[in-house]
Structure 1
Amino acid sequence: MLFDEHRIFLEKPADLKAPIVKVKERSPERAVMVEVTSEADAFLAAEAMADVIQLEKFVPAAVARVVTGIRKRSDGRPAIAAAGGVNAQNAGDYAKAGADTLVTSAPFYAKPTDIQVCFFPL
């Protein structure tokens, strides 16, 4: 997983493609997941063959633009993950925008729910 914050440690922090290509060459059996904070970087990550592109704090409309602008490879990659600000109220909007997966910490902050289990003889 290459987070946006990791890029300051790169020789050329503005070059998102090079580290993705390097990891893909050194460990082709590993999936490469990249967090991006702009649509332009999402497209660069796709060009570099990232396997998962995590869109950090994108609004649903921006997710939709990325989803429609990136052509999936024959293996279905890259997967598009919407993250940052996803919650129960807007998860449907992100799903409709075409995100393959939603990343959220909202359940950790939700009120507890009372769950009851019932057993019945067959």
Structure 2
Amino acid sequence: MISKKILLAASLLISSSIALPAFSADLVCNLNVKNGGSVFGNGTNRCGGLDFSFGNSTSGSWEITNITKSIDRINWIKGCSSGLYCSVTVRAYSANQAEAYIHYVDGSIEYLEGSMFYETGH
């Protein structure tokens, strides 16, 4: 009986130490193209679009969503400067990337990244 309790306790201890933290936050992009253009991937971490405005840029946004744990702070590396949301100017034919580290109150850290691509008729 004692050996069963020891075996059960050991297996619970091992399985709890193997469990990985469940991260659930998402970094999502939303790209706005000019009238008559098309967009793919809005609401995901990879979005892109095409229009024939012959401009050099359009607008977009980055947002961190689906957060289920308490946040201590967010460190943006690229994309935004602070907060959970920002509007950005998306340059045509350029790297429009975002990277952020979420530092949670429980001490865990989550890395998020995404990219937007915009093409125009020029």
| TM-score band, normalised by shorter chain | under 0.3
Structure with more of its chain in strand, by fraction:
2
Structure with more of its chain in helix, by fraction:
1
Higher RCO (C-alpha 8 Å, min separation 6) = 2
Report the TM-score when normalising by structure 1: 0.22
Which structure has the greater CA radius of gyration?
2
Report the TM-score when normalising by structure 2: 0.22
